[in-house]
Structure 1
Amino acid sequence: MIIRKARLGKSMVLQELATRSDLSISFLSQVERNLLTPSISALKRIADVLDIPAGSLMFGAESRKGGIGIGLVRRGNRKRVVFPDSQIAYEMLTPDLRRRMSVLWLKAPPHGESGPVFSHDGEDAVIVLKGRLKIEIGGVWYELASGDSLYFSSELPHRWRNESAKPAEVIWISTPPSF
């Protein structure tokens, strides 16, 4: 439903989305009708074509408006994103992406990294709970250790890297929600 709504909002036919995302019309039609659950990489390709945050597709947020004022997320009920062939894991600490911010628990394995730099609207805050994490913002690297925090405009190109031989655990806050 979210993909269809975003596609129609851009006056895009299914064929155009299929061509631009390099996915079949049949596959996309089944995804739009909730008959298939796409992989994270397929969701990312769809989100890139539709110019929307991939997280809004991964966590099922249709709208940031009209949400309830309280959202309790129990430890065992967190929504998780795990990337294929990777030990990087994100857990949602907020109930969904319909809020004014998202709070993620990032588990960065030794020598793990987020990939190429990216940017998005808003601001990010990072708090290192365990281990060390390097974050590149606008071409400058910042090294954070346990207890350190960093706040920045997420419109600046950024990425992270764990260069140590030990895992890092980080709280990553984004406003507005982005993934």
Structure 2
Amino acid sequence: MNQTNKTSDVPMTMHEAPAQNPLRLGMRLRLSRQTRGMTLKALADAAHCSESLLSKIENGKASPSLPMLHRLVAALDTNIGWMFEESDGEEGIIFRAGTRPLIALDPLRRGEGISLERIIPYSPGHLLQCNIHHIEERGASAGPIQHAGEEVGYLLEGEIELIVDEKSFLLSAGDAFVFNSELPHHYRNVGKQRASIFWVNTPATF
């Protein structure tokens, strides 16, 4: 069966995808779509599904098939993990030192020697993403990348070269930056020690 046929999308079963609250999944899809400025019709067309079905999914009244979910996250330029990740912390407000997840970037996009310490968990209740980017000596991000949104950062330690729209900037501890995410951007550690950047942006994948 052609998985891109609009009539092929049936509700997922427990064997097809991880268990997930339909309302939570719908909220994440809607938030991701809205922050990218996409209409319901535009996303439905990109994911090869009906607008009415997508509306039901966003409202927690239906669940997508796994193939459809993959098409949705591809159209939104995000990933399956973000859709299924749970929020942690004391009532979702406090995230104690030493308990925050420290993860490598997506293997398809990661640079060398880079890990992310999540400050804000990926959640439908947050309009922002916030991580501390830890870049080992000679580490560099993959890129350049670009996406909808805005980026703000503060260099906690070390030295980095930030390249935005083919312009190079050397930053040291205490320096800050802000730029439109639609500008191609990437960075690398140019110092002799690990660099750490407190980085905030509107939702996007890294």
Structure 2 length-normalised TM: 0.57
Q: Aligned with 1:92: secondary structure? A: strand
User: 2:77, 2:84 → 1: CA distance?
Assistant: 10
Partners of 2:151 and 2:179 within 8 A in 1: yes
User: 2:84, 2:177 → 1: CA distance?
Assistant: 27
Which aligned pairs between 1:156-171 and structure 2 lie closer than 5 A?
A: 156-171=183-198
1:49 offset after TM fit, Å?
Answer: 7.5
Q: Deviations over 1:49-91 (max 9, x none)?
A: 813344x5334468xxxxxx95222223323321569431101
Letter matched to residue 93 of structure 1: I
Q: Deviations over 1:82-128 (max 9, x none)?
A: 15694311011002243111110111000100012010111001100
Q: Where does residue 102 of structure 1 map in the other structure? A: 129
How many pairs were matched up?
140
Partners of 1:132 and 1:164 within 8 A in 2: yes
Q: Aligned with 1:76: secondary structure? A: coil
Which aligned pairs between 1:36-75 and structure 2 lie closer than 5 A?
A: 50-54=74-78, 56-60=79-83, 71-75=93-97
Q: Deviations over 1:115-165 (max 9, x none)?
A: 120101110011000001111000001111100000000110000111222
User: 2:128, 2:80 → 1: CA distance?
Assistant: 16
Q: Structure 1: 5+ residue runs without aligned partners?
A: 13-28, 34-45, 63-68
Q: Which has the larger radius of gyration?
A: 2
Q: 1:113 aligns with which of 136, 140, 146?
A: 140
Q: 1:155 aligns with which of 182, 190, 193?
A: 182
Q: 1:173 aligns with which of 197, 200, 203?
A: 200
Q: Aligned with 1:58: secondary structure? A: helix
Partners of 1:101 and 1:177 within 8 A in 2: no
Moved more, 94-103 or 138-147: 94-103
- Residues 164 and 178 from structure 1, CA distance in 2 versus in 1: closer, same or farther, beyond 3 angstroms? same
Q: Aligned with 2:98: secondary structure? A: helix
Q: Where does residue 143 of structure 1 map in the other structure? A: 170
Partners of 1:120 and 1:154 within 8 A in 2: yes
